[in-house]
Amino acid sequence: MSDFFPRWTNQLPLMAAVGAVVVGTSVVAGAWYYFTPKYSRVGYQPVQPVAFSHAIHADQLGMECRYCHSSVDKSWFSNIPATATCMNCHEVVAKDSPKLERVRQSYASGKPIPWVQVHKVPDYVYFNHSVHVTRGISCVKCHGEINKMDEVQHAKSLTMGFCLECHRGPENHIRPNEFVTQLDWKGTVDGKQLVHDWNVQPGQSCSTCHR
């Protein structure tokens, strides 16, 4: 065999195996890093079945977030409002607008509007909206300036590092509860005092979010 092939060719199987391990490890590491929400979801802005503008409702009209998202301070999830909630106003306001035809159809048929979910964390992450909202963490901390958005987009990374930044320094992100849904609030506050008064102790162990 040595008469036909150089001696170094005996190392080819080992070299191929090492190369496969290196390439495989690089691919897995790259996917692990770049498939996180920071890279795969930030900027995500799907077209919704109805052109609902938070900029008009929350900013211009000053509607309180909890009028539509009524369970956000009571439940682990933030509910999407039923069509009947929309019609509380739109049976009178812009009631004949072509833009609201899908809303009227939904209300008449009882079939929900198929809104596209924008903000999402992996299935192995447990997040409780009510715990955060009732302890001074405003919507804009996780959702960005949603009151300025005509179409909602995924503005913050929602990665583990993003969450831990707040858990490690809640005093830098907390505000008085009465201003939680005042999304454009720019006041100052003694965050350390609020953390002390409310006994805020955000967990940093794995089991806090991974259950």
pLDDT in tens, 152-173: 999 999 999 999 999 999 999 9
Cα-Cα end-to-end distance for the chain? 59
User: Could you tell me the residue ranges of all domains in the chain?
Assistant: 7-35, 39-80+115-209
Q: Write 26-33 long-range contacts (CB < 8 A, 24+).
A: none
To 10 degrees, the CA torsion angle through 75, 77, 79, 80?
A: 170
Q: What is the pLDDT of residue 97?
A: 95
Helices 101-109 & 83-90 angle (0-180, nearest 10) = 120
**Could you report the per-residue pLDDT of 63-114, keeping only the tens digit for each?**
999 999 999 999 998 899 999 999 999 999 999 999 999 999 999 999 999 9
Hey, CA dihedral for 119, 124, 125, 128, is it positive or negative? positive
Q: The tokens of 181 are what?
A: 């849904």
Contact at 8 Å (CB) between 39 and 156? no
Q: What is the pLDDT of residue 41?
A: 79
**Could you report the per-residue pLDDT of 18-72, keeping only the tens digit for each?**
777 766 665 555 545 445 554 567 889 999 999 999 999 999 999 999 999 999 9
Report, as an integer, the average pLDDT of 112-133. Answer: 92
Q: What is the pLDDT of residue 33?
A: 46
- Averaged pLDDT of the chain: 88
Give the count of beta carbons closer than 10 Å to the beta carbon of residue 54. Answer: 21
In the chain, the amino acid numbered 201 is Q
Contact at 8 Å (CB) between 144 and 151? no
